[in-house]
Amino acid sequence: MKKLKNCPICGSKAKGESPYLITCFNNDCMLTLLHTEKQWNYRPVEDGLRKRVEELSAEIVKLSLDLGSISYIKTRLALCRNQHVKNSVYLENIDYAIKKLDELYKTGKVKETGE
């Protein structure tokens, strides 16, 4: 027998009494169904939600890395700005980039790393 998912009602372990009879171990629940393992383990909503959680978790990791890069870029821009750069176009671009990053932080769309 394949590994059975926990009971869909109470979350307790399940046992296969036979290939077509699956029972919950919880005495208060005691869900017993005439299902195959495949039918018992079929949980489209639960499986879909688990998949989405995995996708979002991966996205959080990616965004965390991106935010670290943004914070690093902002720091480097500020250092360049403070090194008395003479090129006015260059200074305008640096100031614009720093301003945009600050706007993102202030609106709460991104947070500084370490917060």
Residue 60 inside a domain? The answer is yes
**CA–CA gap between residue 89 and residue 92 (Å, rounded):** 5
Residue 31 inside a domain? The answer is no
**CA–CA gap between residue 23 and residue 14 (Å, rounded):** 6
Residue 100 inside a domain? The answer is yes
Residue 55 inside a domain? The answer is yes
Confidence of residue 87 (pLDDT cuts 50, 70, 90): low
Residue 78 inside a domain? The answer is yes
Q: In the chain, how many domains are there? A: 1
Q: Residue 94 forms beta bridges with which residues? A: none
Identify the pLDDT of residue 42. 87
Q: What does pLDDT average to over the chain? A: 76
Print the domain residue range for 68.
44-107
Identify the pLDDT of residue 115. 42
Q: What is the pTM of this model?
A: 0.43
Name the E strands within 1-115: 14-18, 21-24, 32-33
Confidence of residue 17 (pLDDT cuts 50, 70, 90): confident
- What are the b/e assignments for 28-41, b being 16+ CB within 10 Å? eeebeeeeebeebb
pLDDT of residue 32 exceeding 70, the answer is yes
Residue 103 inside a domain? The answer is yes
